[in-house]
Homo-oligomer: A and B are copies of this chain.
Amino acid sequence: MDTVQEKAQVLIDALPYIRTFHGKTFVIKFGGSALSGGGEESLSFAQDLVLLQHIGIRPVVIHGGGPQISSLMGRLGMSPEFVDGVRVTGSDAMEVVEMVLTGRINREIVTMVHRYGGRAVGLSGRDAGFLVGERKTHSGRDLGHVGKILTVNPEILDLLDRNRFIPIVAPVGVTEDGAPLNINADEAAAVIAGSLKAEKLIMMTNTGGVLDDKGELLPSLDRKEILSLIERGIIAGGMVPKMEGCLRALSEGVGKVHVIDGRIPHALLLEIFTPEGVGTEIIRSAGS
């Protein structure tokens, strides 16, 4: 009897979360490395998405795809080049970026959602002209099609949400002139979350969350603490722009940001439906 009662208790324990999050939008960044793994991570992720959708949460997924892009470039004899972790994206590289993100990874996520009985539609920022941006330079250097988002037109996301389709977004933008843009997926997720005033922005990473200088997980951080950790160099490398995106999202009206360990099966569910959470939560201010 015990186990059965425990099962019921798990469902009951989820109730307050279900109630609180009903009808709310969650923007979820899902990294490309998760997909390139054995597939287990992405299967558990797809199941979680479908569960969220069925209990009335509105998930919006933004995915990456760095490893797969580099791999195809390699097969085509192109050598990936990075400046401070940002991929230099000439026209040929942009073609590969778009084909891999929109034509492959995006497709796989859409189909996985359907395998578990959910409904999804893949989008890139070109569709419905919903991510319009411009090229950006990095440290004064021209990086080709690397760009930033200037405006988000959320009409197509709303339309899909209201009709119970999960939008799966490839981080490709478009300029006013119709040229494609390679957008950093973390940045795309943060900007989209901000424009939707999402309840939560959830960054699924292949680390345990934000770690302190001893490698210990920091379960909760606010703006000040993050800025201090950056200043002290404890948050460094690729984590810096990720954190800046998180802070911007918060300042634009996102309720809370979570940086969680996407390698843990069902990390998404655990973060949302258990009091402990799995990773680091980022809030506006510890006092608020």
Contacts and interface: CB of A to CB of B under 8 A. Distances in A.
Interface of A: 1, 4-16, 18-19, 22, 44, 47-48, 50-51, 54-56, 75-76, 95, 98-104, 107, 110-112, 114-117, 119-124, 126-129, 155-156, 159, 163, 165, 172, 174, 177-178, 180, 264-266, 269-270, 273-274, 276, 278
Q: Give the residue among A10, A103, A116 with the most B Cβ atoms within 10 A.
A: A103
A126 B95 CA distance: 21
Nearest to A172: B107
29 contacts: A4-B276, A4-B278, A6-B10, A7-B13, A7-B270, A8-B269, A8-B270, A10-B11, A11-B269, A12-B47, A12-B48, A15-B50, A16-B117, A18-B55, A22-B54, A55-B55, A95-B104, A98-B104, A98-B107, A103-B103, A103-B104, A112-B178, A114-B129, A119-B128, A120-B127, A121-B127, A121-B128, A159-B159, A159-B163
Nearest to A10: B10
Given A5-B265, A18-B51, A111 B174 contact: yes
Q: Give the residue among A14, A22, A121 with the most B Cβ atoms within 10 A.
A: A121
A283 to B, nearest CB: 22
A18 B16 CA distance: 17
Closest 8 CB pairs of A and B: A103-B103, A8-B266, A99-B103, A99-B99, A10-B10, A102-B103, A111-B178, A121-B127
